[in-house]
Structure 1
């Protein structure tokens, strides 16, 4: 929170804003969602022995159905001897104006294969302030979702379009993702068995088509697939093995997300490709995005003032344990309710773990309260002012060696010392060093 960093002691990644997804799930309140214009293709079902060859076939197959844009969330090692490399390069060249390839900005360019004719988008997520749970997404034009949005909305098909898209842009801003697709945290509906009866009737999950099924003509009805993919956005990436039950235990390219069923101690449940899909939905439909007022200067100042007011209360207006707990309980419940209500209205006020931090702060003050009382008994505020006045007086006095008389009264320097009674006089020589010690002679 800026003034006192205690979030490491109070759950570094805890955010009460995440209750929004849990409350809406329990109440069966429908969350405003996308219109089903994003479809996922899982490459986890493709054979690892001929992965590039199969992936090239999937890309060409998807391209036949005329989608708006195709995103491929994969890195490729810089080894041209791998089976299918030539076919993959040809497929990307044929659909060079439709395909966006993912690129991890943390990887050196020499470590991954570059396809000259392709458009690239950054797939790594903002990691400022140690983002453990992925709540924010880069707003840079170079981000994976933003590149897909631009490709899908652009009518240009010439080389200059790709040149503009791949231009390096230094944009550091990001936005809070409204997880439209969350479905118990993973964000996917697997319709592998009987799925095209109500394939588009999904409430909070993305339609997942297995890449293996897409290549086998007897598995899917091509007319239905065409209706699903035509003029829509398709993201191709790893979303688990072919067996649905194995997806739960698969940890490849998975991240912690706020729409998980757990509030703390989260597992990695959502694939990176699904997070990109949620971000893309936010970019395609700005009405779904939160108006984030937390990043404003006024709100940051308000949070600091709130903490200062609480510290002032603990120091000077403390009503005791029960009073403090009551105040925290009432204010916390009210703040959480207001925050969730504003999120429902599309306004994001990030309270994070601030309420828990206040509780930890209260406990910390309670533990040191005896020490504070002992300190106040030794040196009260009046004593501090007296010492300050003496030092100021000494600093402006030019005469040295002259002594003065100080009346030692109740509440002044050493009233606990029996040597000096109330009303006694004390001679202090300016040539000596003034030291104040308990139960000692100055």
Structure 2
């Protein structure tokens, strides 16, 4: 991962906005060719394995079916991580002892390892020594930077904050999943910095339209399409942000695969939603993504209904309030319209675009100008957090008319999230039975 970061071409907005992430070169020992030491995000990595005196408990989350690790081993791993420098791999004695005989075969022998002085490095590392640092031989020039940091901060070095922890498990599959998560997180940092807000000004707050977009079954899709998770996530963000630019939308909030977008007019918001649905269908998705049951191709009399990840989209309009986000100066909108869009989003299913009755009354006479989408009256629904029912409408692109959505029965107030969690649990149980059968075989 450290070497792959150096090969990445990070956006100019990343390296120019944050001086700490700029490309840094240094001359090698022969003082001939400069070698790159830093390029983009600097990742701290800690590696630890189970020892005799430490325990590691594994529990499967009931809702997401994801493995959750805890215990003394994880606590020690986090302690090691807090004392690691950005751009460094720090490992415990147990890990070093396990790979010492294999170091010559790792990276064709181009691996640097050395025991560190934990007392000089950081007080948080007391009691977990000895520790060993590891770097690719091509990046050993970073050691000078590490020494400068230690001399400046003394034993008070301690890195706090949220970050990914790379753990080398004995199970190759689990380690691969951890690696994918780290790469996906770093890729998300780069993609998020290419904000379309730099090209589209924030809409007026007097009367704007809020659109919430999310990828349906995103946890399952990203989990089971492991090899293509980064490519899928990057393509999804790129398609959405390009559509925002095309239809004058403003990206207000991004949380994983969920985007909160604001548009100056209702027609532009609807055009954005319908166009993005089409872009997602026409994109050339990897084969392992298309083979997932949540992304499979569905045809009806030669008409393409579904293909690839399916988006859940909801929209509402009204007066908004806004504040400026302190980190990257984005406008964050809030108010009744945002709350109604979120409530409507709770009953939205993958592949459909829901809008309130207020929006429908505004555009019902101009649907032909919007591409003549297929309109379905869902009747009155009780939205989460609302005290009275509200009439809702579903829009799908005309080219995909015929989509069938299996909604809960009328009067059964099971919102989408609960329904999705139940389906996730069933899928997880099936997967556990399948893996158990393979182990027994």
Question: Which TM-score tier does this pair reach, normalised by the shorter chain?
Answer: under 0.3
Compare the two structures and name the one with the higher strand fraction.
Answer: 2
- TM-score by length of structure 2 reads 0.23
Higher relative contact order (CA 8 A, sep 6+): 1
- TM-score by length of structure 1 reads 0.23
Higher-Rg structure is: 1
